[in-house]
């Protein structure tokens, strides 16, 4: 696979498009989000006249996510120990705001029992031979009513072209993360297939579709003050692949090459972390700050996060996101980073996944897990194995398990 383009940039366009009958609409939510300003900045109405946060949350600190463990001295009081335990459970939270922690992600009023969802399909044209997906709700002990905030879709013969495929994984976060990811599922394909430039300039069409989808989020009834979603998509036309990413979900390609038959991984996207130099500069230029959550003794806990300059909110652990109106006010953007690749006979499969997979498994290891199932031409078993291994890694490292979603696409490129 050969890369042939640099990341994209551009201005937002207002949305206008019709629904896609091939996609089934799902849940919505109440609450009104303020309108975005030009360039995707969050609404000023999310902040009061004094610049303090309004009803969407408070500036009180809450434990944050991250790999570094914090040890509580035995001399601490029971209250301190309870707080430290909560910190341990929440330290991989995508967003920290107000007084809520990890338990706020995926909350519903009544318990919803969800089975792990999966499917297997055979490609009917182009370079895709088979593909499958699986999505499994995570586990949060303090939130027994947690629902799966991930969403995904796989569309073949996209826009009535048998050589076109559109695959996407979304990882929602916050109180309405599920509703945000589901709205993206419904609207992003519609906007893309209706873009007049899709045939002549797919990169520009993808960029506009992302902009319009995010604009619709801001205009919707969803409260996106502290709720949003990552998006990783792969659009294939013939032997050309366009990856578009917002956030820290990820796509890779499994390659098989060389006289000795060596497998390797090629990244199709880059994670958008707040401490990535270009991302950090944009946030600081918009009067945001990037730093880890600070514990009671001032020690950094977990990954770098995005905060308002003078308030400890929203604490978002990614630098790009769909939605997240408060974070958008300090430079968190829904601008997709688009890369273009030409598929060759060495490119054997693609994996798209939420960070339920990538948190503990790197790109090369994912290829190692999937490649035996490529030999058997069983992408569904590859999805099952990735989800199972990811969950086992979470159990070994954490008291929580993140929602986990995987799409595996087997290729037959010339």
Sheet arrangement for strand 262-267:
117-125, 128-136, 404-411, 347-353, 250-257, 262-267
User: Hey, which bits of 268-299 come out as E strands?
Assistant: 288-294
In 10 A of CB 159, how many CB atoms?
16
User: According to the model, what pLDDT value does residue 260 have?
Assistant: 77
DSSP class of residue 102 equals G
259 pLDDT band, cuts 50/70/90, is: confident
Report the 10 Å Cβ neighbour count for 29: 17
Read off φ and ψ for residue 34, nearest 5 degrees: -75, 165
How far apart CA 47 and CA 53 sit, in angstroms, is 5
Res 113: pLDDT? 35
Instruction: Give the lowest-confidence range in 24-38, 212-226, 238-252.
Output: 24-38
Q: State the Cα–Cα distance between residues 413 and 174, nearest whole angstrom.
A: 39
Domain with CATH 3.60.40.10 in the chain: 2-22+116-219+227-272+335-411
| Residue 412 CA: distances (Å) to CA of 16, 189, 353 | 36, 24, 21
Check: CB of residue 106 under 8 Å from CB of residue 146.
Answer: yes
Neighbour count for residue 2 (Cβ, 10 Å): 10
Name which of 3-17, 196-210, 238-252, 336-350 the model is least confident about. 3-17
User: Judging by DSSP bridges, how do beta strands 240-246 and 250-257 pair with one another?
Assistant: unpaired
Summarised one tens digit per residue, pLDDT across range 368-397 is 999 999 999 999 999 999 999 999 999 999
Please determine, for residue 182, whether its predicted confidence score (pLDDT) is greater than 80: yes
Strands 2-3 and 117-125: unpaired
Q: For residue 222, how many other CB atoms are within 10 A of its CB?
A: 26
pTM reported for the whole predicted model: 0.77
Gap between the Cα atoms of 6 and 339, Å rounded: 6
Please tell me what DSSP assigns to residue 226: S
Q: Is 367 helix (H, G, I), strand (E, B) or coil?
A: helix
Residue 158 token pair: 């996209």
Would you identify the CATH topology of the domain 2-22+116-219+227-272+335-411? Phosphatase 2c; domain 1 (3.60.40)
Please work out, in degrees rounded to the nearest 5, the angle formed at the alpha carbon of residue 260 by the alpha carbons of 254 and 264: 20
Nearest to 131 by CA among 352, 414, 402, 409: 409
Give, in order, the Cα–Cα distances in Å from 231 to each of 313, 340, 358, 360.
22, 17, 14, 19
Residue 174 backbone class (left: φ over 0; alpha: ψ -120 to 50; beta: rest): left
Within 100-201, residue ranges assigned H as helices are 177-193
pLDDT per residue over 21-63, tens digit each?
333 333 333 333 333 333 343 333 343 333 334 333 333 333 3
Structure tokens at 229: 């979603």
Which pLDDT band, with edges at 50, 70 and 90, does 192 fall under?
Answer: very high
For residue 156, the SS3 value is strand
H/E element, 357: helix 355-358
């Amino acid at each position: 696979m050969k890369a042939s383009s640099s990341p994209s940039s551009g201005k937002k366009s207002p949305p206008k498009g019709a629904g896609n009958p091939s996609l089934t609409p799902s849940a919505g939510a109440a609450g009104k989000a303020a309108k975005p300003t030009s360039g995707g900045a969050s609404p000023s109405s999310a902040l009061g006249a004094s610049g303090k946060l309004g009803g969407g949350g408070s500036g009180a600190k809450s434990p944050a996510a991250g790999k570094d463990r914090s040890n509580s001295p035995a001399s601490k009081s029971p209250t301190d120990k309870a707080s430290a335990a909560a910190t341990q459970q929440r330290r991989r939270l995508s967003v920290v705001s107000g007084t809520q922690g990890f338990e706020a992600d995926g909350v519903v009023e009544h318990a919803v029992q969800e089975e792990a969802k999966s499917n297997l399909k055979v490609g009917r044209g182009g370079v895709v031979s088979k593909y499958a997906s699986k999505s499994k709700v995570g586990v949060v002990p303090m939130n027994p009513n947690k629902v799966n905030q991930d969403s995904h879709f796989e569309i073949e013969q996209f826009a009535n072209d048998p050589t076109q495929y559109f695959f996407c994984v979304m990882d929602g976060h916050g109180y309405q993360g599920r509703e945000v990811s589901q709205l993206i599922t419904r609207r992003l394909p519609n906007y893309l297939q209706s873009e007049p430039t899709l045939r002549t300039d797919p990169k520009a069409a993808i960029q506009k579709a992302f902009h319009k989808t995010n604009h619709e989020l801001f205009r919707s009834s969803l409260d996106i003050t502290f709720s949003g979603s990552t998006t990783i998509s792969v659009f294939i036309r013939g032997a050309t692949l366009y990856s578009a990413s917002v956030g820290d979900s990820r796509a890779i390609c499994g390659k098989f090459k060389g006289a000795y038959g060596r497998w390797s991984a090629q990244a199709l996207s880059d994670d958008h972390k707040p401490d990535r130099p270009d991302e950090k500069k944009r946030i600081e230029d918009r009067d945001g700050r990037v730093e880890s959550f600070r514990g009671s003794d001032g020690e950094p806990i977990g990954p770098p996060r995005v905060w308002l300059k003078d308030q400890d909110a929203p604490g978002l652990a990614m630098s790009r996101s769909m939605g997240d109106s408060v974070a958008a006010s300090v430079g968190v953007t829904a601008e997709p980073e688009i890369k273009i690749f030409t598929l060759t006979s060495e490119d054997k499969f693609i994996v798209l996944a939420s960070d339920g997979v990538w948190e503990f498994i790197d790109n090369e290891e994912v290829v190692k897990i999937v490649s035996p199932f490529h030999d058997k031409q069983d992408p569904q078993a590859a999805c099952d194995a990735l989800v199972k291994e990811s969950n086992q890694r979470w159990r070994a490292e954490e008291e929580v398990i993140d929602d986990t979603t995987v799409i595996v696409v087997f290729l037959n490129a010339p």
